Amino acid sequence: MSVAAAATHARVTSSRARPFRAPRRGRATGDAAGRLVRRVRGNRGGASVTRTRSGAESSPSGPPPLDLVVFTVIVDDLVFADGATRMGVLGGGGPQTAFGFRTHPGDFSVGLAAGVGPDFPRECADWLDANGVDTEGLMLVRDERTNTSGAVEGEGEGGDEEEGGSSWEGGGASASAFVARRESALAEKTNAKQPPSPSFRPTPRAWQITEHDGRRTQVWRTPANAHLYAMLRPPAETLPPRYRGAKAFHVGVHPERPDATLLKALREKVIFGGDDEKNEKKNASTRVLLSVEPFTRATRPVSIETLHTLCSAGDVFSPNELEAVSLVGEGSPAELCRRLADAGAKIVCVRRGEKGAVVHSAATGETWDVPAFLEDQSRLADVTGCGNAFCGGFMAGLVSGESLDRAACWGSAAASVMAEHVGVATVAAR
């Protein structure tokens, strides 16, 4: 399915989306694109002004804040059920969510924040550029105390002590330029016969193994330790100013160990330091739209406190069905939504793969069952990243001010495009 075809599906599919509380399907009228945020765009390269229906304007002295910031880059080595492989594919929740977000016709901006290494493939950087993903938040992570096996060589030694000896060196607006600059620096050292110092941590890399029944197992190839997890979700204070001022964030977390500090910093934008009282006064006006997604199932029961932290941290909580069951037990999708809402979630989105998704608003009580759009199963190529693409499309709908069911339709449309490609979709999102 092309992006254009998926967008058409998303505009008209309310005739297929149905509320759980109503026995009959009601056909919605109007075009989803008609309710998009109205934008007045000036010179993209310099002084530009963006207006929404609320009349808010960005600063004319520079580019406006990003609409969405996403986290995590992983280079995936894919293993399919028939034994076929595909190596070095751009993956991780960040690029996949960014693609889903960019499929929406609202022309929204999205930035990627993640730690990468000198081995970050040029093909991956080219994909980010082709899909209009801002990569100023793409950072090399230097750590002179950590060897290639991930073992800490010194304790309490070394120059930079941020994040256990890390220092974060930012990228640029162009991912390809970022890679070219890295390659140029390495070439200069090679020509001068200098050692490749300082050392940087490698780009996170993992096997993604898919079984015949659709189950997927991730096995880390990069040593799994605290340094790796920090690269997946960079500390809030390392984010560039445009990222800190973003209108929305999407973050993947472990359900048993949600990064409460990062989530609070993003939710309240308390990432500049300074006076706590001053920050508190600004919280009401600086709160942003935050989407939280567990990236795996809980392996053991979580405490009530952890479940509340996980569900209440943001505006949207979006597990898949197996992840939801691991948190609140067996039940119908609607029941899962209500239990998660009772635990503190404001908007719940339970993703169900080929069965679509069920979305629920705690504020209004509405619950919608939205179908998947992959009608031709013969075109199914790879389901890796479909859930992230759904989250991106769903967030784009919410950012644009669309209704809950319409936003979910954009999510399903984005997921359908992702499902027809191995790895991230090769068609440009715009």
pTM, full prediction: 0.75
| pLDDT of res. 195 | 54
| pLDDT of res. 224 | 87
> What averages of pLDDT result for each successive group of 10 residues across the chain (430 residues)?
53 48 31 25 29 37 85 94 92 93 92 94 91 92 53 30 47 51 55 61 93 86 88 90 92 91 81 46 63 92 94 95 96 96 97 92 95 76 85 95 94 88 67
pLDDT tens by residue, 47-61: 222 222 333 334 445
C-alpha distances in Å from residue 134, one per residue of 127, 138, 173, 327, 420: 11, 9, 5, 34, 25
Average pLDDT over the chain reads: 75
What is the SS3 string spanning 64-132? CCCCEEEECCEEEEEECCCCCEEEEEEECHHHHHHHHHHCCCCCCCEEEEEEECCCCCHHHHHHHHHCC
C-alpha distances in Å from residue 143, one per residue of 39, 155, 182, 226: 43, 13, 16, 13
CA distance 204 to 182: 17
pLDDT tens by residue, 198-250: 588 999 999 999 888 878 888 999 998 888 888 999 888 889 989 988 999 99
Say which residue the tokens 């898919």 belong to.
Answer: 210
| pLDDT of res. 191 | 59
The answer for residues whose C-beta is within 8 angstroms of residue 223's C-beta and 6 or more apart is 149, 150
| pLDDT of res. 83 | 93
Please state the length of the chain. 430
Element (DSSP H or E) covering residue 387 = helix 386-399
DSSP 3-state of 236: helix
| pLDDT of res. 61 | 57
Structure tokens, 85: 């492989």
